[in-house]
A and B are shown apart, each in its own frame.
Chain A
Amino acid sequence: MGQLSMQSRAADGGPGKPLQAETDRPLDPLTLSTIWHSLQRICREMRRVIERTAQSYLISQLKDISVGIWDGDGNTVAIPVGLPIQFVGAKYSVRYIMKEYGDDIYSGDVFLANDPYRGYSCHPPDWGYFRPIFQGSRPVFWTLARAHVEDTGAAFPGAYFSDPYDVHSEGLLIPGVKVIERGREQRDIMRLIFNNVRLAEGVRNDSYAMIAATQLAENRLLDLIGKYGIETVQRCVEIMQARTEQAVRACISAMPDGVYRGESSTDDDGVELDVPVTVRCDVTVNGEQLTIDFSRSDAQRKGFVNCSYPSTYSCSVASAILFLDPALAEYHNEGTMRPIEVIAPEGLVVNAKYPAPMGGAPVSMGGNIQEAVMMAMSQALPTRAAAGWGRRYGQYIYGIDPRTGGLYVFPGYHAEGGSGAVWGYDGYQGSASLGTLGEIARPNTEDYEIRFPWKVISREFRKDSSGAGRWRGGPGFHWEVVNLGGDAGMHTGAGQGETTFAHGCLGGRPTMPNVCHIVHGNGEKVLAKVHRLHKVVRGDHVVKDTSGGGGVGPPEERDPMAVLEDVTINELVTIETARDVYRVVIDRATLQIDWERTNALREAAGPAESR
C-alpha cells in the first residue's frame, strides 16, 4: 500500500501527462451532451432504486449510498452522487478486482468488497457491489453500488465501536469476491456471508437492492451502447475526460503558486483516550499541478481512526474539487483527478498498515482530511474560502425493541450542526456533515418514532452555536430523546468535536464544542463522551448540544443589519453575543441598533485582522 501513490501515478499515465487534444474525430454536440448526461442520469437512477427498495433506515431514509461508473481500465467516468469517502477514489477498488481476477471476469459477474485492505472499502460496514459491463469479450465499463449496511458481523451491532482489537474485530471482511458468476448467485458464498451478520434478512434485502442498481446500470449502459455504438460512447467519455482535465488545469493555474498548509485533529483514537490525533497537509500549487501531501501527519493508531490510501485520496480530491469552477461541479471524472496528486506515506494515520482498525475512518479521520484540505485551499483562494462544518456527532444505539422482540440499530444524522460559512454566504443551515457534502438526508422525527423505541423530545437550532464571522456558520442543534425500550448500548464512535474544532477562515471563528449527556430517570446527568460505549436504560434521556459551522471573515465586519436580523428574526444570536463578538449594540427595549455605541465599539476594536 505504501507504493500506492506511485502506482496510481503510473496507472493514471502520470500526473504530468500532457493533455491530448480532441482529435480529428469530432462528435456532434447533441450526441456528446446526450451520452454524457445519460451517464450522470444512470447514477442518479441507481441511487433511486436503492433508496426506494432498501429497508435499512440509514440507506433508504438518510441515503448513506454511493454509486458510480468507471471505464474498462478503471478510470473514473461518473460520480455525481454519493459520500466522498465511499466512492470518489473507488477506481482503486475496481482496479483491485481487475488485478485479482484477471481473465476470470465474465459478463454477469458481480463482486462484493468491504475489506479496507483488499478491495478498499473505507470501513467494513460499507458494502460495495461491483459489476463489469461487457461489450463483446471485454469489460468496457464498471459500475459500483455501495451502501452502509445495517450490520456487518462485528463485535457489536451497528458500526463505529471505537475500541476494536484490530480490523478483524470490525466485522466480516469480504475481499472483493465473486458473489454472482455469469448471472448465477453463488449460494454457498452468500449463505456464508449472511450467516455471519445480524439482521441477515434485512441485509440481504439491501444487498439485492444494490445488486439491482448495478443491473439497472448495465441495462442502461448497454442500451446506450446499442444506440450509439461503443466507439461513440467511448469517444464521448474520452472527450469529456479531456475537456474536464483541461478546465481543471486552467483552474489550478489561475491559483497563485505556493505551499498552503492545513491541519485538523480528532478528539482521540478510541483506545488511547483524550489524546488528539492530527492530520496535516501541505498543498502545493505549481502551475497546472496540485499536490496534496500528508507526510507530516500522525503515525497510525491502535484505535479505529485510521484511513487507507484510497480513503485519503477520496477525501482530498473531494475537498479540492470544491475550489474549482462551480460550473464543473456536475461532471467530475478522471480528468479532474489527473492534475491532482495525493501523497500519503505508509504507516501514517492517512495510509495505515494491516491490521490497523478503520471503523471510524469516514468520520475521523475522513472528515478531518477534508477539513485540512479545505483549510489549505481557503488560503490559496481567499474569495472561495470555506470554513469547517458542524462536526459529525452521531451515535449508534442498539437493543431489543419491546414492540417486536427484535434487535434494532438506531443510527442517525440528527444533531450535527450545519455547514460552515463560505465567502459571500452564511453557512447552509440544515445540511449534515462535511463528510457527506450535504448528500445525506436527516431523518424525520415521525419516521424514527415509528421505527425505534425512542421518543423525541426536541430538535431545534441552538442559540449562539454558529462560528461567528462576517459570514457565520449554519447553527448547531439541541436534540433530546428518551428511551421507551429496554436496556440498550450506545456507541459514540461516529462523532467528534468535543475537544477539537473545525477551522474558521480569514478571521472567522472555528466551530465550538459538541456536548452529549445521558440524563437518568433520577435526574442524574452524566457526560457521554465520543469514541466510547455507553449504556442507556429505559427512561434515560440522551441530550446533545452541538456546534454549527465555522465563520468566514472577522465577526466585527458583519453587516450590523444582518446581526440584528439574527437577533430578532432568526433568533439565533443573543444580544450579548451581538455586542461582545459582533460588536453591534442592540437596544433591549426597542430591539433596534444603537448606531452610536456600535460605531464606537467597532472603532475601539481597531482595524480588522490583516488578511
Chain B
Amino acid sequence: MVSIAIDVGGTFTDCLVLDGRGHLGQFKSPTTPDDPSRGFMNSLEKAARHAAKDPRDFIGEVDVIIHGTTLATNALLTERGAKLGMLTTEGFRDELEIRRGFKNIRTSMYNLAVPPYKPLVRRYLRLPVRERTLYSGAIETPVELSSVSAALDKFEAEGVQAIAVCFLHSYANPENERKAAQMCRDRFGDRVYIATSHDILPVSGEYERFSTTVVSAYIGPIVSDYLLALEDRLTEMGFTGNLLMVRSDALVQSAAHSRRQAVTLINSGPAAAPTAAHFFGRLLGHEDLISIDMGGTSLDASLIRHGEIPTTTESWVGDERVAIKIIETHSIGAGGGSLAWIDSLGLLRVGPQSAGSAPGPACYGRGGEKPTVTDADVLLGYVPADYFLAGEIKLDAERARRAILTIAEPLKMTESEAAQAIFRIVNSLMADQVIEMSTKRGYDVRDFALIVGGGAGGVHGAYIADLLGIPRVIIPKYAALYSAFGMFAMDMGREYSQSCLVRADKLDPERLEDLYGELAEKATADLKESHVDESEPVSTRTAQIRYVGQFHDIEVALPGTLRSPEDIRQVVETFHARHKELYKFDLPARAIEFRTCSLRATLARKLDLKLMPLAQGQIDPGAAWKRMRRCLFGGDWIDTPCYDGQRLLAGNVIPGPAIIEEEATTIVVPDGFDCAVDTSGSYLLTRR
C-alpha cells in the first residue's frame, strides 16, 4: 500500500511518497514543459531508485497517485489553448463578448484606458443554431439540424480543435445541447474536444455558464491529451491503481472526470497549498495564517482566517470569468528562477520573467546565462552549491557569479552587492504582494502567522516576515513539497447539485428525501466508477435557500434525514439566523424558497497523516552541526554554522545567523531570529 502525491510546478515536479508504515519520502525532478508527463515519470523513477526497486515493481505497489498541475491555468493565462468554435442559440452569439458589461474587473471605474476584451472565441467562430428552450425547460424549438451542420462545416474548414455548446436555459433541459453535441461527435469523433454548458455548470445565468464552458473547451484538448498520455505511460509502467486529480475546490476526482471537465483543473496545483497550511496551522495551534508557496516560477499566496480555507464562485482567471467553486489564491511571478534585469530607467528589477526549468538559473549549468534569484542565493552563500537537492544538482557558483556580473557591472556594484540587491528586491516584491492581498481585504498582516513552503521558501521566508512585521514564521517539515503534502490531506469526492424550486411552506419532506436519495446514488455510482473501494462515502447535505424575490442564495446545512414539517421548520429557522449573521438583518415575515439541493460526497481516506514525531533533544543543536560556511549577512561575510536538517531534534533552538541544510531545501535563520524545531519536524522562526 503506497500512496503518492505529485505536484507539477513551473520549475520542479514534486513527488511525495507515503508508504504503508507512514514514512514519507520526498523527491524533486525538473519539470519538462514540452511534455510534463516525462517529468512526472522521472520523479517516480527517482522514488523507485531511492526504494532500491525496479520502477515497474515500485509502481505496481502504488494504489493511488494524487496529482496537481498548473497545466490548465498556464494554458489559459499564456493563451496556449485550442482554436475554438462555439455553437450558441441564434440571436445570442455575443453574450460571451458582452460579458454582462463587466469592464472594471481589476481596474477602477475611474480608469478608462483599458484595452477592449478579447474573447477566447472570436466572433466569426461563434455560430448561431436555430433552437430554443424556455426557462421552464419546455423546448420551444428543437435543434434545427441544418444550422448545426452548416456551423460544423465552417468549423471543419477553419480547423477548429474544440467546440463549446452553449444554449439558453440548458440547465433546465439539456436535450438540445445534447443533440448538438452528439452531432459534433458524429462529425469529428475524437478529433475535436466538446464541452457542453449543462455539463460544466448546470445553473441559470448564461454569461457565467457560457464563459466557464468556453474556458473548459479552450483548455480541454491540452488537458485531455496530457492526461491520456500520462495514463498510457503509467499503465505501461505497470500502474494498476487510481490516478486522482486535484480539483479547483480542493477535492480530488478521477482523471477521466477531469478530462471531461477540464475547467475543474484550474488552479489545481496551488489549490493544495492552503490545505497543507491548514494542516500545519492546526497542528501548531494557529487559525489565522498567510500561506506562501515560493517555487521556481511563481509565488502563490493565500489567506486563511479562523481556520477557514476561502473558496469563491466569483473568480476571474486572467480576463475570463470562471464560475465554478475555486480555492482563493493569489499568484505572482516571483520565484527562484525569476530573472534579474535592468530597466530603461537604469533600475534593477526582478521578474516576472523566469528562467523556468530550461535553461534554469545560470548556476544549474544548463545554458542559462541570465542572473536569477537562485544565482543570488548561491552567491550569498545561503544555498549550498554542493548540497542542492542533497547534492543531486551540482550548482556552479562561478557561473552564478558571471551571470550576476552582467548586471553588477552596469550598476557599478560588486557581484555580492548586486546579489544582495536582487535578494532584497525579490523579498520586498513578495512582501508587497502579500500586503496587497491582505490589506485589500482589510486585514492587518501582522495578525497572521506566516507559513512558508516551496523550494525557495525557506531561504526567503524570514526576510519576508520581517518586511511584513510578522513576528512568527512556520516552515513546515516537507516545506519543499508543500502543495504535494496538502494533496494527502484532501478528501476524495465531489459535490452534486439538483435544482428544486419550491417554497418552504409547500415543501414535501418526502419528496426532498427522495431527491437527496437520488443524488447519493449518483455519488456512490461515480465513486465506484473511480474504483476506489475504501470506505462508504460520507455525505453532507446542504440546500441553497433565499427569501422569495432575492437573487442570491445562502447555503444551509440540512440534517441527515428530513421526515416531518418540523424538520423543515428547523431549516427555515436556521436560514433566518444565518441571513442575520451574514447580512445583519432578517425578514421573518417573508416567504422563503428552496432553490438547489446539494450533496457533497467524500470518502474518508485511510491515509494516516500523523507525522512521526521527532525524538526530543536538548536546546543546544550542537549534535546536528555540519560545517561552517561563509555567508553574507547584513553586508558582512560571516562564518556561519550550518546544521544538518536530518539530525536536528525536537526542542533544538538554533540562533541566527545560521543555515539549516535539508535534503530538499535550505532554511536561512537570519541574525536576530531564533529557530525552534517542533516535534512535527517543522521550524518555528521568531524574532528575538
Q: In the complex, what distance in Å separates the CA atom of A40 from the CA atom of B551? A: 25
Is A501's beta carbon under 8 Å from chain B? Answer: no
Is B346's beta carbon under 8 Å from chain A? Answer: no
- Count CB-based A-B contacts (< 8 Å): 202
Q: In the complex, what distance in Å separates the CA atom of A173 from the CA atom of B117? A: 42
Q: Which residues of chain B are near A461, meaning CB under 8 Å?
A: 94, 97-98, 123
Is B237's beta carbon under 8 Å from chain A? Answer: no
Question: Considering the complex, which residues of chain B in the window 434-457 have a beta carbon less than 8 Å from any beta carbon of chain A?
Answer: 435, 439-446
Q: CB distance B442 to A442 under 8 Å?
A: no
Q: In the complex, what distance in Å separates the CA atom of A313 from the CA atom of B444? A: 35
Q: CB distance B92 to A460 under 8 Å?
A: yes
Say which one of B31-39, B103-111, B480-488, B512-520 lies at the interface with A.
Answer: B103-111
Is A304's beta carbon under 8 Å from chain B? Answer: no
Q: In the complex, what distance in Å separates the CA atom of A43 from the CA atom of B575? A: 26
- Report the nearest B residue to A450, measured CB to CB: B135
Is B587's beta carbon under 8 Å from chain A? Answer: yes
Say which one of B173-181, B202-210, B252-260, B598-606 lies at the interface with A.
Answer: B202-210
Q: In the complex, what distance in Å separates the CA atom of A431 from the CA atom of B100? A: 8
- Report the nearest B residue to A459, measured CB to CB: B92
- Report the nearest B residue to A324, measured CB to CB: B110
Q: CB distance B94 to A474 under 8 Å?
A: no
Chain B residues touching A, majority SS: loop
Given contacts A205-B549, A444-B205, contact A422 B112 (CB under 8 A): yes
Q: Which residues of chain A are near B440, meaning CB under 8 Å?
A: 37, 40-41
Given contacts A431-B101, A441-B100, A461-B94, contact A446 B124 (CB under 8 A): no
Q: In the complex, what distance in Å separates the CA atom of A40 from the CA atom of B582? A: 20
Q: Count of B residues near A, CB < 8 Å?
A: 61
Choose among A41, A442, A447, A568 the residue that contacts B98 (Cβ–Cβ < 8 A): A442
Say which one of A4-12, A154-162, A325-333, A602-610 lies at the interface with B.
Answer: A325-333
Interface centre among B112, B135, B551 (most CB of A within 10 A): B112
Q: Which residues of chain A are near B583, meaning CB under 8 Å?
A: 49, 52-53, 209, 212
Choose among A227, A442, A447 the residue that contacts B204 (Cβ–Cβ < 8 A): A447
| Per-residue interface assignment for chain A, residues 103 to 122, with 1 indicating a CB less than 8 Å from any chain B CB and 0 otherwise | 00000000000000000000
Q: In the complex, what distance in Å separates the CA atom of A38 from the CA atom of B443? A: 7
| Per-residue interface assignment for chain A, residues 323 to 363, with 1 indicating a CB less than 8 Å from any chain B CB and 0 otherwise | 01010111010000000000000000000000000000000
Q: CB distance A446 to B552 under 8 Å?
A: no
Is A439's beta carbon under 8 Å from chain B? Answer: yes
Given contacts A208-B587, A425-B116, A571-B124, contact A430 B103 (CB under 8 A): yes
- Report the nearest B residue to A474, measured CB to CB: B116
Interface centre among B104, B116, B445 (most CB of A within 10 A): B116
Say which one of A54-62, A491-499, A538-546 lies at the interface with B.
Answer: A54-62
| Per-residue interface assignment for chain B, residues 412 to 453, with 1 indicating a CB less than 8 Å from any chain A CB and 0 otherwise | 000000000000000000000001000111111110000000
Is A259's beta carbon under 8 Å from chain B? Answer: no
Q: Which residues of chain A are near B109, meaning CB under 8 Å?
A: 80-81, 329, 437-439
Q: CB distance B442 to A459 under 8 Å?
A: no
Is B113's beta carbon under 8 Å from chain A? Answer: yes
Choose among A324, A424, A430 the residue that contacts B100 (Cβ–Cβ < 8 A): A430
Is A386's beta carbon under 8 Å from chain B? Answer: yes
Q: CB distance A211 to B585 under 8 Å?
A: yes
Q: CB distance A55 to B547 under 8 Å?
A: yes
**Shortest distance from the beta carbon of A125 to any chain B beta carbon, whole Å:** 18
Given contacts A424-B113, A445-B206, contact A52 B101 (CB under 8 A): no
**Shortest distance from the beta carbon of A394 to any chain B beta carbon, whole Å:** 13
Extra contacts, 5 of them, besides A55-B551, A80-B109, A201-B590 (Cβ < 8 A), are A34-B442, A41-B439, A326-B107, A439-B104, A460-B92
Q: Which 9 A-B pairs have the closest CB atoms?
A: A458-B91, A55-B549, A329-B108, A438-B103, A41-B442, A212-B584, A442-B101, A37-B439, A329-B110
| 22 chain-A/chain-B pairs, Cβ below 8 angstroms | A30-B445, A41-B440, A49-B583, A49-B584, A52-B582, A55-B551, A60-B552, A61-B551, A205-B587, A211-B585, A324-B110, A332-B110, A384-B113, A419-B112, A428-B114, A428-B117, A429-B116, A431-B101, A438-B101, A444-B204, A445-B95, A460-B94
Q: Which residues of A are interface residues toward B (Cβ below 8 A)?
A: 30, 33-34, 37-38, 40-42, 45, 49, 51-55, 57, 60-61, 80-81, 201-202, 204-205, 208-209, 211-212, 215-216, 220, 227, 318, 321-322, 324, 326, 328-330, 332, 384, 386, 413, 419, 422-432, 437-447, 449-450, 455-461, 474, 480, 568-572
